[in-house]
A and B are shown apart, each in its own frame.
Chain A
C-alpha cells in the first residue's frame, strides 16, 4: 500500500484481450471459481464445448440433460456452492426444464448455460430452436439472453451473484451460437451491482426486540425450521439458540439435518407425514417461530387448522414469503443466520418446562414405528439399517415417493447438507443424479441414494455416467413393484382402485451389471444387512435391489384437506 502511494504515474491501462464469446464463457467460469460442470453438448453450444476442451474445468458428461441439472443441484446442496449446467439449444434446453423448476421450488443455486440458434435465426422456428427464455421465465430467479459477446462477462458474473445470494435459485444464460463465435474485448467486472436487486439481510432491531419479548412471555413456544436454515448455513446458530432459549424444534422435510435428531428438543418432521408429536406441538403451541420456511401446503395441511392458537414469527430473506400463506404477527425479513445471531445476542429465555415435558411425552407415546417381520423385508427396516450401519454419517439423497418419507423418518441426518431430497416439486428421477453431483462435490463422503423402483427408472441411464467415471454412489432401491405413494392414495382415497400404479421393474442387478456396476439383491432382513455392509465396503458404485413388502404404507399421515391435528397415526385398517 505504502509503495503504491508514491507512484506518480499510473501504470498504463492494459489493452483488454480480445477473444471469442465461447472463450469468455470458460474464462469467466474459471474466475468465478467453477471447477465442475454437468452437461451435454450439441450444435448450438459447440463453440463453448470447444473452448472447454483442455480448459482444466471438469465436465461430467451425463446421459440426459435432466440428470445434468439434478446432479448440479446435488452438487450445490451438498456444498452450498453454485452448481453449473451446460446444454445445447432446443431439446437440450427443454430437457432441463424439470430440473430448473425443481431448483426454483427448493431455492437451489444453479447457473444454467444454454446454447441458442444464431441471433439471425431466432424467431424463425430454426432447427433445434426453442424460446428458452420464455419457457424458463416462470421457473428461474432470472434469465438472460446474450446479444453481444462483450456483455458475457457482466452477465455471467451477475448470474452467479443472483443465483447464490438472497433467496438462492436457478439463473439461466442463453447464448446464441454467433455470440459464442463473436470476437470482442474481454473485460471481467470487478464487482457486481444490480440496481433492482438488493436483498435485505439484516433484521430490523425493533422486530428482534419484539420477538424476544414474545418469547419471554410464551408458555408454549416452538421453532419451525426449513431449508432456509441450511442454505443460510445457520445450523450452528439454530442449535445454540434453541438450546439457550429452551425451545423445541420441528423441521420440514427440507430442514432435516439442520438440527440434531438426538437432541432432546427435537420433535421431528411436521406436516402430511410428520410425527404425531411435531404436529401436536404445532397445533398446541402459543408462539410459532418459523425460520427459513414457506408454509408449504404439505406442511400446513388445512390452513384454518394450522397452529390456530399461536402468534407467529416468520424469518425469511424473501419478503414475498411473509404473509403469503399464513398471517404473521412478527415479520422479519433477513438472512436467517443474521436474525438468529441477533436473537442470540438478546438471549431471550422461554419459561416453558411443562411444555417441553408435554412435547417429549408425545414423542415417547407416539414414536415413528413399524411392525418388523423376520420373514419379509420391511422398507422401514432397510432405512433403519442404513442409518445404523452408516452411523447417520452418510450423505443421503432420495427419489420421490414412499421411500422418500421412510428415509425422512428413519434416516436420522445429523448434519446440514447430508439429507438431499426434492421437496417442493417432488421430482421422481431427482435422487440418483443428485447423488452423483453430491459425490463429486464431496469425494470422501459415503453417498447413498435411497430410491424407489419407479423413480430409479426415470434416470437409470446415469448408471453409465457413474460407471465410466467410477463415481462410488450407492443406490439402494426400495423395490415394492409399485408406484407406492400412488397406490397408498388409491387405497385410501380411491376405493383401492389401483389404476396404473402397478409398475414393472427390470432386474436391477442385471441392469447394474450391464453398465459394469456392482449389483446386489436382498430379499430378507439378513440379506439386507449383508448387502448394505458389502455395498458400503465396495469402493465403486453399487446398486442394491431390496425386494420389500409390497403393501407397506407410510404413516403417520394427514389426509389431504385435513388439519394436522386430524392425522392418522397407525395403519388405515388398524
Chain B
C-alpha cells in the first residue's frame, strides 16, 4: 500500500541524505520525496510517499523519528489531506494539433506554458492519478520529456470547509 508521510526536519545540510540513506540502507522504498521550507524558519517539511505494509511503515516512522534532525513524523495517508504534485510535460505539437491539445488540457485545469514550432509544454497540478490520466491522454501526440515533482501534502483543517 502507498503511504504519505509528512516529516518536519531541521533545515540542515545533510538532512536529506540522512533521510534518504535511512530508507536505502534499511531496504525501504521511496516512491517520491519533496522538500521545501516549512512555516517556521530553520525547519523544512518533507513529504515522502512510500510503498509497504503496515509493519514496514511502522518501522519506517520509528526509524525516521530516531534521526536527531527529525522533529515530527506523521502518517497522513488516512487523514483528510490535500496532496498535489506539479507535472511539466513537453509533447510534440504542430499548428494542426495545438488547439486539439489545448482542448484536452482544459478540463484538467492544466495550462500551456510554452509553445514552440514543434512542441508545447503543459503544466498541471493535482494528485498523481489526475496527472497520470493527463499523461495518458497526451501520449498519442508524442511525449518528448516529463518532469514531475512528486507529491507534497498537508492535512486539511478539521473545521474549515473543504475547498477544492
What is A's interface to B at a CB cutoff of 8 Å?
A: 133-134, 137-138, 141-142, 145, 162, 194-197, 318-320, 323-324
Q: A196, B14: Cβ atoms under 8 Å?
A: no
Chain A residue with the shortest CB-CB distance to B72: A196
Tell me the total A-B contact number using a CB cutoff of 8 A.
39
Chain A residue with the shortest CB-CB distance to B10: A196
For this complex, 12 residue pairs linking A to B, each with C-beta atoms less than 8 Å apart, are: A133-B14, A134-B14, A138-B22, A138-B25, A141-B68, A145-B14, A162-B68, A196-B9, A196-B71, A320-B63, A320-B66, A323-B58
- Judge if B139 is at the interface, Cβ distance under 8 Å: no
Q: B68, A134: Cβ atoms under 8 Å?
A: no
Q: A137, B14: Cβ atoms under 8 Å?
A: yes
Chain A residue with the shortest CB-CB distance to B42: A195
- Judge if B69 is at the interface, Cβ distance under 8 Å: yes
A contact residues around B67 at 8 Å (CB): 142, 196
Q: A319, B18: Cβ atoms under 8 Å?
A: no
Cα distance A197–B9 in the bound complex, in angstroms = 12
B contact residues around A320 at 8 Å (CB): 59, 62-63, 65-66
Contact with A along B1-41 (1 / 0, CB 8 A): 00000000110011001100110010000000000000000
Q: Using A320-B59, A323-B58, A324-B59 as known contacts, say yes or no to A197 and B68 having CB atoms under 8 A apart.
A: yes
B contact residues around A194 at 8 Å (CB): 68
Q: Using A196-B67, A197-B68 as known contacts, say yes or no to A319 and B17 having CB atoms under 8 A apart.
A: no
Give the number of chain B interface residues (Cβ < 8 Å): 21
Cα distance A138–B58 in the bound complex, in angstroms = 19
Contact with A along B46-71 (1 / 0, CB 8 A): 00000000010011001101111111
Q: Using A133-B14, A137-B18, A323-B55 as known contacts, say yes or no to A196 and B68 having CB atoms under 8 A apart.
A: yes
Q: B21, A319: Cβ atoms under 8 Å?
A: no
A contact residues around B71 at 8 Å (CB): 195-196
B contact residues around A197 at 8 Å (CB): 68
A499 smallest CB distance to B (angstroms): 30
B130 smallest CB distance to A (angstroms): 35
A118 smallest CB distance to B (angstroms): 17
B60 smallest CB distance to A (angstroms): 10
Q: A319, B68: Cβ atoms under 8 Å?
A: no
Closest 8 CB pairs of A and B: A320-B62, A142-B68, A196-B71, A138-B25, A197-B68, A320-B63, A319-B62, A196-B70
Q: B62, A137: Cβ atoms under 8 Å?
A: no
Q: Pick the contact of B17: A137, A141, A162, A324 (CB < 8 A).
A: A137
Known A-B contacts: A134-B14, A195-B71, A196-B68. Give 8 more (CB < 8 A): A133-B14, A134-B17, A194-B68, A318-B66, A319-B65, A323-B58, A323-B59, A324-B59
A360 smallest CB distance to B (angstroms): 37
B contact residues around A319 at 8 Å (CB): 62, 65
Cα distance A142–B70 in the bound complex, in angstroms = 11
Cα distance A138–B17 in the bound complex, in angstroms = 10
A445 smallest CB distance to B (angstroms): 34
Chain A residue with the shortest CB-CB distance to B13: A145
A contact residues around B65 at 8 Å (CB): 319-320
Q: B21, A138: Cβ atoms under 8 Å?
A: yes
B contact residues around A142 at 8 Å (CB): 67-68
Chain A residue with the shortest CB-CB distance to B71: A196
Q: Using A137-B17, A138-B21, A320-B63 as known contacts, say yes or no to A196 and B55 having CB atoms under 8 A apart.
A: no
Cα distance A289–B58 in the bound complex, in angstroms = 22
Cα distance A141–B13 in the bound complex, in angstroms = 17
Which of the listed residues A133, A194, A196 has the most CB atoms from chain B within 10 Å of its own CB? A196
Cα distance A238–B10 in the bound complex, in angstroms = 39
B contact residues around A145 at 8 Å (CB): 13-14
> Which residues 67-94 of B sit at the A interface, judged by CB distance below 8 A?
67-71
Cα distance A142–B22 in the bound complex, in angstroms = 12
Q: B21, A137: Cβ atoms under 8 Å?
A: yes
Cα distance A194–B70 in the bound complex, in angstroms = 11
A contact residues around B13 at 8 Å (CB): 145
B12 smallest CB distance to A (angstroms): 9
B9 smallest CB distance to A (angstroms): 8
Chain A residue with the shortest CB-CB distance to B8: A196
B contact residues around A137 at 8 Å (CB): 14, 17-18, 21
Which of the listed residues B55, B66, B69 has the most CB atoms from chain A within 10 Å of its own CB? B66
Q: B17, A196: Cβ atoms under 8 Å?
A: no
Cα distance A134–B18 in the bound complex, in angstroms = 9
B71 smallest CB distance to A (angstroms): 4
A contact residues around B59 at 8 Å (CB): 320, 323-324
